[in-house]
C-alpha cells in the first residue's frame, strides 16, 4: 500500500503538465472551429498532442533514471524503496499514454464530442483495464506491480483508440458543426417589458435621485455663497448627464441585439450597474 501511495503521487505530479495542455487545446480548438478556421484547429491538435507526448516522455525517462532513489524521497524503509523502483517501469509507460489521452480528451471537448471520449474511457478503463489489472495482481500474483501493468496497458490502448478517432475527423465538417451548435444554443428571451423600458425606469429613478442631490447641494450652498450654489448645481447636472448617456447606451445596445431580456436575468445584470 505504501508503494501504491508513492507511485500515485508521482503519477499525479507528472499528470499536471498534460492536464494544462489539455485545457489549452480544448480552448484553442473550440475557438478555431467556432471562428471558421478548421486548418488552425487541426494544427492545434497536432502541436498539442506532440507536446503532451514529449513532456510525458521526458518525465518517464527521468523517472526511469532515478527509479532507485524515488522511494527515498518518501520513506526510509528498504522494502518500500525496492517495490517503488520495480513499479516505475509500468508507471513510466502509463504516463506516455496518459499524456496523449489527456490532450486528446481536451481536443474532443473543444469539438463538442464528449460522448465519444466518455465511451472510450468507459470501455478501456472499466471494460478492459480493470479486468487486466485484477488478473495480473491476484491470479498472476504480481500484486501492486500487476495493477500498474494493467494501467499501462489500458493507457496505451486508449491512446491508440483516441488517436484513431481524432485523426479521422473532417475538420471542415467539424467547423460547420460548431456553427450549427452555436446557432442552436442562441437564446432569445421574451417578456412583457423589454430591456429599454426596464432600463428607462431604473435610470429615471437615478435621475430623480441625482437631481435631488444636486438641488440639495445647490440649496445648501445658496445660503452661504452663490458660487458654491453654482458648483452644487453643476455637480448634480453632470451626474444626471452621465446617467442619461448611460441609459441611451443601454437602449442602443438592446436595439442592436434584438433581444428582449426579462428582469432579474444575467444579461440585465451585466448591462445595468
CA distance 88 to 80: 12
Q: Is residue 13 part of a domain?
A: yes
Q: Is the dihedral of CA 159, 161, 164, 165 positive or negative?
A: negative
As given in the structure block, the three cell numbers for residue 82 are 525496492
Q: Is residue 101 part of a domain?
A: yes
Domain range for 2: 1-167
* pLDDT, position 185: 67
Q: Which helix (H) or strand (E) holds 15?
A: helix 2-34
Count: domains in the chain: 1
Q: Is residue 85 part of a domain?
A: yes
Residues 6+ apart with CB under 8 A from 128: 153, 154, 157
* pLDDT, position 194: 43
* pLDDT, position 248: 53
Q: Is residue 11 part of a domain?
A: yes
Q: Is residue 141 part of a domain?
A: yes
CA distance 11 to 14: 5
Least Cα distance to 14 among 102, 133, 137 occurs for 102
Q: Is residue 25 part of a domain?
A: yes
Least Cα distance to 267 among 248, 250, 247, 249 occurs for 250
Give mean pLDDT in consecutive 10-residue pieces for the chain, a chain of 273 residues: 88 92 96 94 96 95 94 92 93 93 95 94 92 92 89 93 95 92 59 42 47 45 42 41 50 47 43 42
Q: Is residue 194 part of a domain?
A: no
Phi, psi of 141 (to 5 degrees): 60, 35
Amino acid at each position: 500500500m505504501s508503494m501504491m501511495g508513492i507511485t500515485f503521487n508521482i503519477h499525479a505530479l507528472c499528470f499536471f503538465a498534460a492536464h494544462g495542455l489539455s485545457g489549452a487545446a480544448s480552448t484553442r480548438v473550440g475557438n478555431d472551429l467556432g471562428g471558421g478556421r478548421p486548418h488552425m484547429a487541426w494544427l492545434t491538435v497536432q502541436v498539442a498532442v506532440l507536446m503532451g507526448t514529449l513532456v510525458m516522455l521526458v518525465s518517464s525517462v527521468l523517472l526511469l533514471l532515478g527509479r532507485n532513489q524515488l522511494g527515498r524521497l518518501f520513506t526510509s524503509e528498504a522494502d518500500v524503496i525496492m517495490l517503488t523502483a520495480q513499479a516505475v517501469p509500468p508507471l513510466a509507460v502509463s504516463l506516455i499514454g496518459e499524456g496523449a489521452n489527456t490532450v486528446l480528451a481536451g481536443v474532443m471537448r473543444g469539438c463538442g464530442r464528449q460522448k465519444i471520449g466518455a465511451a472510450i474511457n468507459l470501455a478501456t478503463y472499466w471494460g478492459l483495464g480493470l479486468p487486466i489489472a485484477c488478473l495480473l495482481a491476484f491470479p498472476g500474483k504480481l500484486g501492486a506491480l500487476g495493477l500498474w501493468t494493467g494501467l499501462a496497458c489500458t493507457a496505451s490502448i486508449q491512446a491508440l483508440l483516441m488517436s484513431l478517432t481524432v485523426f479521422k475527423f473532417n475538420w471542415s465538417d467539424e467547423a460547420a458543426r460548431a456553427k450549427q451548435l452555436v446557432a442552436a444554443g442562441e437564446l432569445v428571451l421574451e417578456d412583457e417589458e423589454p430591456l429599454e423600458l426596464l432600463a428607462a425606469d431604473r435610470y429615471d429613478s437615478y435621475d430623480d435621485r441625482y437631481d435631488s442631490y444636486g438641488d440639495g447641494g445647490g440649496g445648501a450652498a445658496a445660503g452661504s455663497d452663490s458660487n458654491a450654489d453654482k458648483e452644487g448645481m453643476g455637480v448634480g447636472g453632470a451626474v444626471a448627464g452621465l446617467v442619461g448617456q448611460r441609459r441611451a447606451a443601454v437602449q442602443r445596445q438592446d436595439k442592436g441585439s434584438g433581444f428582449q431580456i426579462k428582469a432579474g436575468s444575467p444579461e440585465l445584470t451585466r448591462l445595468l450597474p
